[in-house]
Chains A and B, each alone.
Chain A
Amino acid sequence: GQNIDQPTEMTATEGAIVQINCTYQTSGFNGLFWYQQHAGEAPTFLSYNVLDGLEEKGRFSSFLSRSKGYSYLLLKELQMKDSASYLCAVLDSNYQLIWGAGTKLIIKP
């Protein structure tokens, strides 16, 4: 079966750095996405990785290792507004998005 694992909840301090991991086992791979979802709102796109390596976009970076079935989202200089759920999703061989359950990130002052 298809499976995406990410921690349920993480806590970090304002101004710090946090890394949210995601491991996946899917039928085929056409890329991995990270989305941010604030409570009561729809997800918003953060990043897309299809090749191995690190993609940096401002305070957020995303890493992918296809051989290990592993990705992480790195958030730097955390701000209170970064408190949200972060969803990892993989595009499988049928171009369907397989979603992780999401990681709730709590930022403390």
Chain B
Amino acid sequence: GAVVSQHPSWVICKSGTSVKIECRSLDFQATTMFWYRQFPKQSLMLMATSNEGSKATYEQGVEKDKFLINHASLTLSTLTVTSAHPEDSSFYICSARGTGRESDTQYFGPGTRLTVL
């Protein structure tokens, strides 16, 4: 089946620093990648949708200058949380949708747990 990896799995950082999270589709080409955030005991919240080679589309209320998304290739998208603050602590999950067989659904990465001190 289609596999999506995320790195790192968890990260602890100081307030004010930037954190980069990578999302990779390992065995298929992901034309579209999605970034979600999930706070404890809450639903997944879509942050942004990115298509390879074009700018990401952010959901309402998500600051695009704070959450920088780059989808430079068909297998890699990155989310950079700039100047992180404790309220950015959350579970960040990416998903990927490809073409052909992999276009039917979104395949999720294992998630990255971010803790900002």
Q: Which residues of A line the B interface, CB within 8 A?
A: 31, 33, 35, 40-45, 48, 87, 96-97, 99-102
Report 26 cross-chain contacts, Cβ distance below 8 Å, ordered by A residue: A31-B104, A33-B105, A33-B106, A35-B108, A40-B91, A40-B113, A41-B111, A42-B93, A42-B108, A42-B109, A42-B110, A44-B108, A45-B105, A45-B106, A45-B108, A48-B104, A48-B105, A87-B43, A87-B44, A96-B49, A97-B34, A97-B106, A99-B43, A99-B44, A101-B43, A102-B43
Closest CB in chain A relative to B13 CB, distance in Å: 19
Do the beta carbons of A43 and B108 come within 8 Å of each other? yes
B107 at the interface (CB under 8 A from A): yes
A-B contact count (CB 8 A): 36
- Report the Cα distance A71→B105, complex, angstroms: 17
Interface-centre pick from A31, A43, A44, A99 (highest chain B CB count, 10 A): A43
Q: Which residues of B line the A interface, CB within 8 A?
A: 34, 43-44, 46, 49, 91, 93, 104-111, 113
Q: Which residues of A contact B93 (CB under 8 A)?
A: 42-43
Given contacts A40-B91, A42-B110, A101-B43, 4 further A-B contacts (CB under 8 A): A35-B108, A42-B93, A45-B107, A96-B46
Q: Which residues of B contact A42 (CB under 8 A)?
A: 93, 108-111
4 closest A-B pairs by beta carbon, nearest first, are A42-B111, A42-B108, A101-B43, A42-B93
Do the beta carbons of A41 and B104 come within 8 Å of each other? no
**A48-B105, A96-B49, A97-B106 known; A43-B44 Cβ under 8 A:** yes
Interface-centre pick from B44, B104, B107 (highest chain A CB count, 10 A): B44
Interface-centre pick from B34, B93, B106 (highest chain A CB count, 10 A): B106
Closest CB in chain A relative to B66 CB, distance in Å: 22
Do the beta carbons of A41 and B49 come within 8 Å of each other? no
- Report the Cα distance A106→B109, complex, angstroms: 25
- Report the Cα distance A83→B72, complex, angstroms: 38
